Each structure stands twice: as structure tokens, then as C-alpha cells.
Chain A
Amino acid sequence: MMNDEQFTRLVRRYLDTVFRVALNYLRNPADAEDVSQTVFEKLLRERKLFESEEHVRNWLIRVAVNECKKLLRSPWRRVEPIEDYARTLAFDTPARSDLFRAVMDLPQKYRVAIYLHYYEGYSTKEIGDILRIPKNTVCSHLKRGRDLLREALQEADDNV
């Protein structure tokens, strides 16, 4: 069982990561907060000895993905427009705000793969291990997701 100092350090370091993974998965900030809380509750109860910083991060993301899957199967899901949340985010440029909306409009499987690859820096093989899908599927999700994003942003530009 980890001590207070270790736990606090891991919260400071990884809570944002876990929240972003859950937000990408669920597209709902309230549910993403619930999942993040559950993940860190599990970390507190976890008796496993983590071998490295990388090991902890992978474990947290894997548990977050599992909790998101569980929540999607729950009959208690809240439905809240992502637009409401987007309005609360103070992006420094309109382009970033458009990008956020375009990302959130992507199908879930593309959102998560893109986040893990471009933000967290995971390789396609590592993403495959985390999401339990073949590496080639991850590659196609990344490509298809990027294409869809490009189209959406192009469309937004044209409309402007």
C-alpha cells in the first residue's frame, strides 16, 4: 500500500492524464470525473508493486479505459451535450476551440487512439495493448481519425 506522499505525487502527475483519457472515451466531463475518481480509489487499494513510472502510467490508463467501458454499459449514463462543456473551456484561440469540437465529434475509437498516440506519445503497439485491439487496427483508427479531423476542420474553415 502506498504512502501519502507517493499517492499525492501520482495524483499531481497523472490525474489530468486519466481525466483526459476518460473525457476522450466518454465525451462527458461529469462521467470522466467519476471515472478518474474511481481509478485513483483503485490505485489506493492496489497492492501491486509498480516497477517503474511507466508501469504506473500504463496501469492508470488501462484501468481508466476499463472503467469507461464499464460505465458505457451502465444503465445510469447521463447525456449532456459536449457543447456545454466546450463553452466552459477558455481556449486561447478560436482554432483550438474548433479543433476540440472536431475531436469530440469523432467516433470514440478514433478519439481514444489519437489521444494516446499524439498526446501521450504511445506507439501503435502500446495502444493496441492498452485497448486490447490489434496494432493494425490502431494504425487504421489513427489514419481514419486524422482524415476525418482534416475534413471537419476544412469544412469549418470553408464556413468561415
Chain B
Amino acid sequence: MFEQEYTEMFSQITASEGLYGRVMTMKNEQKRKRSSLGRIAMAAALIALMVISVSASETVQNWFIDFFAGINRGELSQEQVEYIEENAQPILDSQTHNGWTVELNSAIRDERTAYIIFHIEGPEDVDLSKWTDEAGNLRGQILFGNSGMPAYLRGLDQFFDFDENVEHGGWGYYWMDDGDGKDYTENLVFDLEPEMMNNDSEPFGEETVYHFRFQDIVWYWRDLEYEQELRNGKYAGQDVTQFTDEENRKLHRWEILAEGVWEFEISFGQLEFVEGESLEG
């Protein structure tokens, strides 16, 4: 009885017409895309003398394509894909402390923003993929922090120093799967959108150096059971999202996984870009 009801109910749930349309036209998109991939392969052969291997370049391109597809909700234009394929630059500068390797892997920029991928590799018994609990709730994440303090509670200077010519900067960071099937490796992607003191100076010129400093690797999580307990204890009319400092301290938990300092300097002057091009939106 249950089985019949269940199957009949789910048979009424189908993919939307829009999804059918998008998937059915993929084959044509694929044909168009293949012609540009052919051009990239030829260009790659011409620059075979480059120190960075072609396979490293392809990995970097694919990571950036996945990243921008994520922030653009899967809507990358053909031009954006080609832009990434042509301009993503591998760097591959790594440091290891206490079994944790942080690699300044690669960068790309458009007119206003630079994007940097750091590839993180922990000891093999560490699972960096534990983002959610079994019910699908966001549970925790790996962060860098000082003295056990999660980075998001600290200021901008937690991660990097701006060049003295930079007035302030918009920035963000995102964790993303590196697709290698290993739970102990992940990518951390930063975006930087600096505003300069002097409008004439170039935020990503060769002389402008950005200094990244990661101190301590911290596993951060929210105690969801305690949060539920707090919510249940609120009176009618009370804001269930407001907690006291003491409650917040118990709610936001963290544990230092590795102590150490990983420092990198990067200048974007060598990166090619196209004026007016935007990788987001």
C-alpha cells in the first residue's frame, strides 16, 4: 500500500520543461565548445617551453571554470570560459608545516578583481570534506585563525596585508572541492577587489604586492544541538537569532588542527586581462 502510494506520488514529480530544454540543447553547445578547445590545444603546443606543465594549466583552468560556474549559478558564457582558459595562470608555490601543505596554486584577474586559488593538503587522516551532518545541515569548516579564534571573527588583516597604496578592499573567500577524490585536500579561493588611495595607481600593477599570511589551521563548527536548546528556551516574541556573548561562545566552537604560519607574496602584474571583462555575472 505504502509502496504504491509512494510510487504514484513520485511519478507526479518530473523535471521541468526548462530543464529538459537546457539538457536537450547541450549536445549543440558541446559541438560549439569543441572548436574553441581545439584552438586552446594548438596554443598550448606552441608554448611547450613554458616551465609550468600543460596538465597543471588544465587543472587550474578547470578549477577556475568550476569556481566561476558556482558563483554564477552555472551560467558561464562561452567568452568567460575562453577567457579563463587563456588567462588562468598556475603559480605552484608551496610551504609545509606540521604535515599541512598550503600551495599558492594559481591566479586570474579581470578588470576589477583578482582571484587566487590556494590548494590545501592536510594529513591523510583528516577529512576536509565534512561540511554537513547527516541531515544535510551545514556543520563546520576548516578556517585559518590565530589562537583558536576563527578567522571570520577577526578583521580583514587576518589573511593578508594590503599594499600601502591600497585604501581598502572588498574580499571574500570560498572553499571548493578540488575534484581529486581525496578528503584531505581542498581549494581555498580568494577574491580581491582593492580600491586605491590614488585613482591613477594600478591595483594589480607589478609594483603592488599582496602579502598573505595564514596562521594556524582551525576546525570550526556550530553546536547545533545547543543552538536548538537555546531556541527552545526563548519566550514568545523573543528574537530566536539573538544570543548573549556567553551563549555565542558555547555555540561557536573550534579546535586547532595545526599550528604554523604559511606566508606568500603575490603581485598580479604578469597576469593578462581584458578591459571591461568581468568573470562574475
Contacts and interface: CB of A to CB of B under 8 A. Distances in A.
A44 B27 contact: yes
Given A34-B74, A76-B71, A76-B174, A100 B24 contact: no
A27 interface: yes
Of the four ranges (under 10, 10 to 19, 20 to 34, 35 or more), the interface on chain A belongs to 35 or more
Given A37-B74, A75-B175, A91-B12, A11 B24 contact: yes
A7 B26 CA distance: 10
What's the dominant secondary structure at chain A's contact region? helix
Contacts of B23: 11, 15, 36-37, 40
A23 interface: yes
A7 B27 contact: yes
Contacts of A33: 15-16, 18-19
Given A8-B24, A109-B134, A96 B8 contact: yes
B22 A72 contact: no
Interface in B13-41: 13-16, 18-20, 22-24, 26-27, 30
Contacts of B174: 75-76
Interface in A52-93: 70, 72-77, 89-92
Contacts of A74: 70, 176-177
B55 interface: no
B195 to A, nearest CB: 25
B135 A108 contact: yes
Nearest to B129: A73
A96 B19 CA distance: 24
